[in-house]
Amino acid sequence: MRPILFLLWLIPTQLSATSNSDTVSQILEHYRLDCAIAQEGEAGGEPLAKIVPLKIKNESIYEIEITATGKTATVIVSDFICPGFGSYWCGSFGCSIHLIVDGVSYSTFGGQPFSISKGKEYFVITPRSGLTCDRHGAAPCYAVSVWDERENQFNIIGGMTKPMFQTSP
């Protein structure tokens, strides 16, 4: 039964977001609810009004450039603090990451993504645990993705999944 649930998690989820900021709001609401549910369970069923809200650091949400024409992606690094639980969505392999382009969220896992350019090419680099590259945990390891302007999606190298949150047509 677990393998089926895991496969269902990878299926893209379409939401009625119209912009990156709408998608960011929907993703953050998911994390806020997840944190509140965890706290409510720990509190023995206390009303959600008494739950301490999720703490989001300013550096957890930022923009990176992904094309020479100035297209950007909004990055969400889920290193938020759920009071009583810590950084609930991070571990030794990194954090859940969302890269949002045109209202569509692409998800991955690791450290804070950044972009670099070489000529007219932009590369999105996501630090990973060395174990991902069959090395020790602190060994350098990176996933690399590029934005394909013709296909309007990431060319995926190193483990970014297809859209999880997508603008409705």
Q: What is the per-residue pLDDT for 92?
A: 81
Q: Which two tokens stand for residue 7?
A: 């496969």
**For the segment 90-114, what is each residue's pLDDT rounded down to a tens digit?**
988 889 999 999 999 998 889 999 9
Which of 2-6, 20-24, 132-136 is least confident? 2-6
**For the segment 26-77, what is each residue's pLDDT rounded down to a tens digit?**
999 999 988 888 887 765 655 555 667 889 999 999 999 999 999 999 999 9
Domain limits, the chain: 11-166
Are 23 and 17 within 8 A, CB to CB? yes
User: How far is the C-alpha of 143 from the C-alpha of 77, rounded, in Å?
Assistant: 15
Q: What is the per-residue pLDDT for 50?
A: 62
Write down the pTM of the prediction.
0.77
Listing DSSP states for 33-66 in one string gives: HHHHHHHHHHTTS--GGGSPPPB--GGGEEEEE-
